[in-house]
Structure 1
Amino acid sequence: MKIYVDADACPVKEVIIAEASDFEIPVILVTSFSHFSNAKQPSGVRTIYVDSGADAADYRIVRLVEKGDIIVTQDYGLASLGLAKGLIVLHHKGFRYTDENIDQLLQTRYLSAMARKSGQRTKGPKPFTAEDREKFRDLFKQIISREKLR
């Protein structure tokens, strides 16, 4: 099992790295070259840099993942592709994408895009909170501890 993180705008990278290291699960951060850093990553963490083009990180993650891996992303399209491959896919706000919720999420995204395209203003996402971080941590620990036992 490996954990792939759509890392460009992920606010829980530190949580993922800390919890995964407790279970000795490799973490792969996939991010664009525009977020390049020389900072040394902890043991078990690897960074893969991709072009800054739209969806470049998503496509790289889809090419790399294997059955049993986990993806952390806020991108519904990537989540949908991960679910189609039978993977566990988590959102940084502490919920799991499922076959039951992905269609509604994609539909909402589509309707918002159409509204913006026609000139309407739409609300953006609510700010990320400490409560969201803890909700993610709890879900993430639960998932990786259960999957590690398999």
Structure 2
Amino acid sequence: MRVLVDADACPVKQEILRQCKARRIPVIMLIDTSHELHDGYSTVITVDKARDSVDLKLINLLSPADVVVTQDYGVAAMALGKGAMAIHQSGTLYTKENIDRLLFERHLGAKLRRAGKRAGNTPKRTREQDRAFERAFAALLDGVSEVRHAD
């Protein structure tokens, strides 16, 4: 098992690193050339700055035993399609039961933006949101680890 992170705008990189280090789980952070990242633990892969370049590289590296951290519903859907697990930076686990609804909501938001409307403001991230992610991510890693060890 590895954790692959769509790291360009990920606000929970430190939480991911802390938990993966403690469990000795490899982490791959994917960024484009407009970002820099050096954390001393993860493997950082930098790709050209092009539309969806990080997303495509992440999906190409993905194996069914992996966990993906992304806020992109499309990336999450592809990860699920490859048999991997995916989690949002809020701590919401992407599942086959919720991904269709999330993709549809993304489609509606894009449609509103094209029509010149705004779907709403995103409030500033709170420490409680970080803690919610940490709890959900720990449960996911521990659950995945138990399943993998049971084989």
Q: TM-score, normalised by structure 2?
A: 0.93
Query: 3-state DSSP class of the match of 2:83?
Result: coil
Q: RCO greater where, 1 or 2, for CA within 8 Å and sep 6 or more?
A: 1
Aligned length: 147
Q: State TM-score, norm by structure 1.
A: 0.93
Q: Residue in 2 aligned with 1:106?
A: 103
Instruction: Summarize the alignment of residues 1-150 of structure 1 with structure 2, pairs less than 5 Å apart.
Output: 1-37=1-37, 39=38, 41-43=39-41, 45-149=42-146, 150=148
Deviation at 1:63, TM superposition (A): 0.3
How far has the Cα of 1:68 moved from its partner?
0.7
Report the Cα offset of residue 115 of structure 1. 1.1
Cα deviation, 1:41-90, whole Å, max 9, x if unaligned, reads 323x1100011111111100000010110000000110010011111100
- Give the deviation of 1:118 after TM superposition: 1.3
C-alpha contact (below 8 Å) 1:20/1:26 kept by paired residues: yes
Kept after mapping to 2: 8 A contact 1:30/1:48: yes
Structure 1 regions of 5+ residues with no counterpart?
Answer: none
Inter-partner Cα distance in structure 1 for 2:121 and 2:101: 17
Question: Could you give the per-residue CA deviations for residues 100-143 of structure 1, whole angstroms, max 9, x where no partner exists?
Answer: 11111111111111111112222143332111110110011111
RMSD after superposition: 1.1
How high is the sequence identity, in percent, across the aligned residues?
37
Runs ≥4 in structure 1, deviation > 3 angstroms? none
2: distance between equivalents of 1:126 and 1:106?
A: 21
